């Protein structure tokens, strides 16, 4: 009997507030810890601090520009333990400043403009994702940095990063609609894919206390992934000149087509076993949640018959934010989620589990 798969907690986002009145798109924003406030960074390189008034509305109390970048700021992180402000921009640069003096401590030039940034306090490693689809790991010192390694698994731009310092796992989202979970601390070299968006992934946050990953996308979707399950790597696609089920030749296999007097077939791949198969031998579709496929994908007929109902049970829940999201941030102490959209609106959501 297959092991029972834990079901994700009921966790429906509840809209708390909307912050409007921006003149430009908000590239990044963060909830102020222990305050009813938000810090926003707009496309015009301005920073605003919004505090909630007695009326329940959010009003800007501070306004200034960010001089560290020559073009739009994409991500800003505040590292309390180091008293550093890390920032990235469309000018293909990553910089870090002293939060007390405002002095720039160092900078690193990237090959493409940066759209994802995370930092590990324990090792002082910065994870930088850029528009080439690459993630760069840098070791930061007080006034310099060194390149540790780079890795690439996305076919599109890296659009968001999230770091779990306990499990030593990095999550990366991309314009290719996928999320990859990189096992860095375990040194296993595993890279597990998650497929649950119909458009590019724009934000990622990991909630360690519930072991859930929250992702947002341009499709307006908020997806909550149950990571308290044993997930499987997707198999590598196998190469073959003929269908590995019925042995009929593919259309480039001229010799076998001539010998068998048969017209070549188009090649496909089973998402579960990775075998090269023809359309007739892979006519069925199935979800494979433990491999990250929450939507139905192509599988060969034998794999389709082997997948149980328990294995098809979803490991994610899906919600509509009703705006095209370009940035998100999660504040775990209160369970609040912040999303900003192309509609120039910031929304605050209560993400605490619903008691049934």
DSSP one-letter string for 177-240: SEEEEEE-TT----EEEEE--SS-EEEEEEETTTTEEEEEETTSEEEEEE-SS---PPPPPPP-
Length of the chain (residues): 356
Q: Are residues 28 and 165 in the same domain?
A: yes
Nearest 5°: phi and psi at 280? -65, -35
Does any domain span residue 1? Answer: no
Q: Are residues 175 and 276 in the same domain?
A: no
- Residue 316 CA to residue 294 CA, distance in Å, equals 7
pLDDT tens-place string over residues 123-141 = 999 999 999 999 999 999 8
CATH code, domain carrying 297: 3.30.40.10
Does any domain span residue 4? Answer: no
CATH code, domain carrying 26: 2.130.10.10
What's residue 331's pLDDT? 86
Domain count, the chain: 2
Q: Are strands 201-207 and 191-195 parallel, antiparallel or unpaired?
A: unpaired
Q: Are residues 133 and 65 in the same domain?
A: yes
Q: Are residues 192 and 338 in the same domain?
A: yes
pLDDT tens-place string over residues 233-292 = 888 899 888 888 998 888 776 666 666 667 667 889 999 999 999 999 999 999 999 999
SS3 2: coil
CA nearest neighbour of 182 among 209, 224, 140, 151: 151
Task: Using the structure block, give the residue that is written with the tokens 């002082």.
Answer: 124
CA nearest neighbour of 318 among 182, 219, 229: 219
Q: DSSP code of 167?
A: T
Instruction: Write down the pTM of the prediction.
Output: 0.79
Does any domain span residue 208? Answer: yes
Q: Containing domain of residue 163, as a range?
A: 14-233+314-350
- Residue 63 CA to residue 48 CA, distance in Å, equals 5
Whether the CB-CB separation of 207 and 332 falls below 8 Å is answered with yes
Q: Are residues 29 and 118 in the same domain?
A: yes
Q: Are residues 279 and 172 in the same domain?
A: no
Q: Are residues 247 and 130 in the same domain?
A: no
Does any domain span residue 171? Answer: yes
pLDDT tens-place string over residues 52-111 = 887 878 877 655 555 555 566 777 777 888 888 888 877 888 888 887 777 888 889 888
Give the CA-trace dihedral at 141, 144, 148, 151, to 10 degrees.
Answer: 110
Does any domain span residue 355? Answer: no
Q: Are residues 152 and 172 in the same domain?
A: yes
Does any domain span residue 339? Answer: yes
Q: Are residues 196 and 56 in the same domain?
A: yes
What's residue 30's pLDDT? 75
Residue 198 corresponds to which tokens in the numbers above?
Answer: 């119909």
Q: Are residues 111 and 212 in the same domain?
A: yes
Does any domain span residue 187? Answer: yes
Q: Are residues 154 and 238 in the same domain?
A: no
Q: How many CB atoms lie within 10 A of CB 338?
A: 25
Confidence of residue 355 (pLDDT cuts 50, 70, 90): very low
> In whole angstroms, how far apart are CA 277 and each of 33, 53, 240, 258, 282?
53, 62, 9, 20, 7
Q: Are residues 243 and 209 in the same domain?
A: no
- Residue 347 CA to residue 309 CA, distance in Å, equals 37
Does any domain span residue 32? Answer: yes
Confidence of residue 351 (pLDDT cuts 50, 70, 90): confident
């Amino acid at each position: 009997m297959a092991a029972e798969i834990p079901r994700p907690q009921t966790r429906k986002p509840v809209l708390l507030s909307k912050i409007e009145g921006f003149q430009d798109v908000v590239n990044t924003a963060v909830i102020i810890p222990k305050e009813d406030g938000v810090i926003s960074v707009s496309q015009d390189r301005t920073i605003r601090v919004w505090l909630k008034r007695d009326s329940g509305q959010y009003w800007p109390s501070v306004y200034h520009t960010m001089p560290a970048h020559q073009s739009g700021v994409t991500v800003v992180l505040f590292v309390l333990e180091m008293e550093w402000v890390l920032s990235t921009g469309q000018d293909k640069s990553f910089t870090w400043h002293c939060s007390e003096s405002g002095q720039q401590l160092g900078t690193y030039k990237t090959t493409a403009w940066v759209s994802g940034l995370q930092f590990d306090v324990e090792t002082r490693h910065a994870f930088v994702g850029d528009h080439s689809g690459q993630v760069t790991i840098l070791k930061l010192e007080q006034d310099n940095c060194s390149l540790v390694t780079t890795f690439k698994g996305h076919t599109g731009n890296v659009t968001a990063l999230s770091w779990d310092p306990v499990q030593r796992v990095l999550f990366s989202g991309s314009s290719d609609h996928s999320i990859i979970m990189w096992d860095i601390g375990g040194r296993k070299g595993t890279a597990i894919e998650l497929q649950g968006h119909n458009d590019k992934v724009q934000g990622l946050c990991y909630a360690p206390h519930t072991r859930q990953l929250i992702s947002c996308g341009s499709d307006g979707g908020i997806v909550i992934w149950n990571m308290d399950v044993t997930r499987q790597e997707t198999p590598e696609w196998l190469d073959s000149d003929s269908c590995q089920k019925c042995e009929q030749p593919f259309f480039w296999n001229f010799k076998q087509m001539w010998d068998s007097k048969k017209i070549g077939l188009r090649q496909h791949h089973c998402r579960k076993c990775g075998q090269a198969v023809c359309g007739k031998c892979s006519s069925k579709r199935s979800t494979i949640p433990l491999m990250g496929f929450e939507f139905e994908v192509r599988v060969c007929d034998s794999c389709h018959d082997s997948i149980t109902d328990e294995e098809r049970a979803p490991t994610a829940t899906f919600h509509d934010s009703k705006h095209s999201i370009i940035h998100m941030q999660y504040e775990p102490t209160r369970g609040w989620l912040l999303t900003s959209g192309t509609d120039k609106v910031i929304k605050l959501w209560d993400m605490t589990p619903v008691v049934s």
